[in-house]
Structure 1
């Protein structure tokens, strides 16, 4: 099992240079992955610094050599497929093939209802599915003529060519995020390269990891019988860097089927409340403590 950290793309005092510094610290501390949230606004009132995840990850790519980088997760229905194709391929090539694209339909009113975006979750799911299928075609570098329900890359005698293709083949790994124990996100995830589950009603347990692993094995067997391609299950969690018991906890999730442990390094785990300084030092210390 590999280990990653996941950090918000917002916080008082956070900028792209700090994200790059954290990524470099994570690499030096022995983490295998560094993932950044993808939000337009902070989960806190008042003026809070927010960075664009793709620019910040570009800075992180320039500051590192080994660690995998990506979003956890990007709500694709509010992004245009050709723009995403350009951004992901540019970052994948810059990082020498270290990009992971985490995706989801997004949630909450702030980045959807209040910004004039699609409000219906079912339609956003349709958009996500069409977006992913189109994105995979655009990544080939070949002409793509597409006229779908939600997206179009077609004109009179014209098709979109997004060249060059990414370094990673057959594609940049796609991990689909979803709230467990839902249904649709996991059916979607079975068609791609990994799943990043979460719970909204409590902490993530070993039993959850085992249940997700069983569900994904069943779904993948039904959709692609006879295939045994590698598949990632990236489970969330929080551990203390000075707790020797974390090694055993990681091992339990590994034995239950997890291939990645994603350490959630966010301010609320340190008791942050409105009006208090952002706990950047505590967040850095957890990253530097390593997996």
Structure 2
């Protein structure tokens, strides 16, 4: 099991310092986040930064950690710009970029304040799929075109391919053991991993939830002849402060098949850039 850390608050320089500390103190991944204009205007407004800019800078001060954002809101990107930015970070980092992706939230004004952006969940999901398809074709190194409902382009070519031939993609997937699997879970099966969420709540999935999800994934991938390809189950959450409790939770998650724990701290009252850096310097939980 690998351990990542989300740098949730800070200036660009502070985010990059947290990335450096992740690399130096035993973490396996550094993650920023993706938003443009959120929350209230004025003094309480949330500061947001370009995630690819943060990751490009992080790539130059780290040597081994995986780099990504939780999560990239792909439907609001222009696919050709996304492809170029991802390819740049991939090469700067020597192939360490991953792309956790989702449909985005419409309370980001980059959706709601821009005419023509997809707003309904159906349209954002369709735009996500078409953008991912475009992105994957850009990794071929060959000329290609697109004629989708949301993504239509003439011929493009990116002659330089990603370092490993492709960049791993982890779509968000909603899981509820009591109901049929959501369509976004079936989307994740086509890619390289899943970032699970519980249906209708922001609650962190527990070991029982992850166990059910992993069993469903194994059965579906076996039926699709995809079981031999690596597949990540990426759980986000805040570990207990007590080291013994944290170790117990991590052990339970690893036992049921989670491959990543990404430490996520989003309380601005206590999760200051200084406290985030201090936590990173303590290292990942004992296993």
Would you call these one fold, judging by a TM-score over 0.5?
A: yes
Match of 2:167 in 1: 172
What is the 5 A alignment of 1:187-206?
A: 187-199=186-198, 200-206=201-207
What is the 5 A alignment of 1:107-122?
A: 107-111=105-109, 112-116=111-115, 117-122=117-122
Match of 1:36 in 2: 32
What is the 5 A alignment of 1:115-154?
A: 115-116=114-115, 117-154=117-154
Alpha-carbon separation, structure 2, partners of 1:114 and 1:83: 20
Match of 1:58 in 2: 56
Coordinate RMSD, CA, aligned: 1.9
Match of 1:81 in 2: 79
Match of 1:230 in 2: 230
The answer to whether the Cα contact below 8 Å between 2:218 and 2:227 also exists between their aligned partners in 1 is no
Alpha-carbon separation, structure 1, partners of 2:197 and 2:40: 21
Shift of 1:128: 0.9
Q: Out of 23, 27, 39, which is 1:27 matched to?
A: 23
Shift of 1:162: 1.4
> CA separation of 1:152/1:201 partners in 2, compared to 1, >3 Å: closer, same or farther?
closer
> CA separation of 1:203/1:136 partners in 2, compared to 1, >3 Å: closer, same or farther?
closer
The answer to whether the Cα contact below 8 Å between 2:3 and 2:262 also exists between their aligned partners in 1 is yes
Deviations 1:233-282 (A, max 9, x none): 001121146523322211110110101111113225xxx2xxxx862222
Structure 2 residues not aligned, in runs of 5+: none
Alpha-carbon separation, structure 2, partners of 1:114 and 1:283: 32
Shift of 1:230: 0.8
Structure 1 residues not aligned, in runs of 5+: none
Match of 1:16 in 2: 12
Alpha-carbon separation, structure 1, partners of 2:97 and 2:50: 16
> CA separation of 1:67/1:119 partners in 2, compared to 1, >3 Å: closer, same or farther?
same
